[in-house]
Amino acid sequence: MKPPKPASRPDRVSLWRYMQLFRQDILSAQPARLYRAWMAEFRTPFFRSYMMNQPDLVKTVLKDRPEDFPKSDRIGEGLRPLLGNSVFLTNGETWKRQRRIIDPAFEGGRLRETFPAMWDASEAAAGRLREGVSEIEAQTSHAAADVIFRTLFSIPIENELAAAVFDEFRIYQRSQPILNLAAFVPLPKWMPRLFRRDTRASAARIRDLIGQLVAARADEIAKGTAPDDLATKIMTTQDPVTGEKFAPEEMIDQVAIFFLAGHETSASALAWALYLMALYPDWQDKVAAEAQALSTCDFSVISKLSVTRDVFRETLRLYPPVPMMVRENTCPEHFRDRDVPKGSQLVLSPWHLHRHERLWDQPDDFDPARWHTENGKACQREAYIPFSTGARVCTGAGFAMVEGVLILARLLRDFEVETVNGRNPVPVAHLTVRAQDGIWLRLRKRQR
């Protein structure tokens, strides 16, 4: 059985129908030819957008000339009430300064220090699982949110403020699906932007809660009693160029994006990874065997989980949590045989690139062993961008690869997972790639 893939739409549909499909789900709104195309153009009365699936074009935009292809202001519109001036949305000098302050906290070397908090979260996640049939995305969201609070603020998700932020985010998402239509189909500038009132109120409550965490931490830093975690590191780091630190409001912006970008994505990847393990029990056995190495909290154990890493990497290929990214060109470009006018939307699609039929061997198969083949290695270099690439690469990429591998192995150490009849998940793009009706699994305690 192949891993689930959404049905594509017919090749030709009217603009109106396209918009309707788009509103439902951007993955199934696309025609199958995008899995073979190097570049495609979408023209509507309001805008032009171009999807680019050719590795050297993706490289031009993301790696070679990122400053010529900033994030467009319009993409961030839906997110601004919540995220303010967070590093995910800014461009130019502001973005550079923010990355100079944030990046040191996520450096490879710091991961060792962050690891015990991840370990505790993985133990807690395994402790919450119960035998029987359950929807696993809820569990992985809980676990990934726990990782963020423990690593950032040294508090578990059960902490009153952490739990309040987590709950409020769920309300926010219901009122405002973040990967919304406006993000991909920019509306003309003259159209008024109305945020729903409850969305704004919910964003304000989340920011207030995060503000309390940030204020308490600033106090502890001043008194010299702050724990040595990511929040302390970020709040005490001076920009080496300007000497500035984050002001409290700007720190709230960053915590909001760490929480959002850090927990939704990892939760999605982990849920799909568990589903794939249920679908391919041979691989599950291999991961479970490797997971026996998880006995004491020791960072070096991660290097022993190589099969789990291959499985997690393959999951991120088939179900990249961020399925598409959008940039805008600041000058006219000529790509392949097309003139791309200034101000066009350029869509880079990990979803399509990772399943490109002219690049990957058996692109729709689940095969974690591919990473050791010539084709797999070449594609990993050129056609694999679950964390994006270049200057704006995900700050949490290294963090997520440790967290994902650790939690996947830890859960499978204690539990066997099986698919549930009649519950075949269909991928859809919400904020991240999720299953239409959740991912349901049967769990059983593993006999050792």
Q: Which residues bind ligand HEM (CB under 6 A)?
A: 87-88, 99, 257-258, 261-262, 265-266, 269, 321-322, 325, 386-388, 392, 394-396, 399-400, 404
Of 370 and 392, the one with the shorter C-beta distance to ligand HEM is 392
Q: List Cα–Cα distances, 237 to 20, 103, 221, in angstroms.
A: 47, 10, 12
Q: What is the closest distance, in whole angstroms, from the C-beta atom of residue 87 to ligand HEM in the complex?
A: 5
Question: Are residues 139 and 129 in contact, defined by beta-carbon separation less than 8 angstroms?
Answer: yes
Q: Tokens 């409290």 belong to which residue?
A: 248
Nearer to ligand HEM, 150 or 370 (CB): 150
> Is 88 or 169 the residue whose CB approaches ligand HEM more closely?
88
Q: Which CA distances in Å does 127 have to 354, 445, 447?
A: 34, 12, 16
Give min distance, CB of 62 to ligand HEM, in A.
Answer: 8
Nearer to ligand HEM, 317 or 416 (CB): 317
Closer to ligand HEM by CB, 281 or 398: give it: 398
Structural contact between residues 113 and 154, judged by C-beta atoms closer than 8 angstroms: no
Q: How far is the CB of 295 from ligand HEM (least distance, A)?
A: 25
Could you tell me the smallest distance in angstroms from the CB atom of residue 31 to ligand HEM?
23
Which residues, 6 or more positions from 300, have their beta carbon under 8 angstroms from its beta carbon? Answer: none
Output phi, psi for 13, to 5 deg. Answer: -140, 160
Distance CA 258, CA 141 (A): 14
Q: How far is the CB of 70 from ligand HEM (least distance, A)?
A: 10
Among residues 3 and 386, whose Cβ is nearest to ligand HEM? 386
The residue among 374, 352, 373, 372 whose CA lies nearest residue 364 is 352
| CB-closest chain residue to ligand HEM | 396
- CB of 444 vs ligand HEM, minimal distance in Å: 27
Amino acid letter at 366? F
Q: Shortest Cβ distance from residue 400 to ligand HEM (Å)?
A: 4
Shortest distance, position 163 Cβ to ligand HEM, whole Å: 19
How many angstroms separate the CA atoms of 186 and 163, rounded?
34
Write out the two tokens for 440: 């349901």
Alpha-carbon dihedral sign for residues 236, 242, 244, 245: negative
The residue behind tokens 């502890």 is: 220
What is the phi/psi pair of residue 36, to 5°? -120, -15
Q: Which is nearer to ligand HEM, 416 or 439 (CB)?
A: 439
Nearer to ligand HEM, 371 or 387 (CB): 387
Q: Which residues are 298's β-sheet partners?
A: none
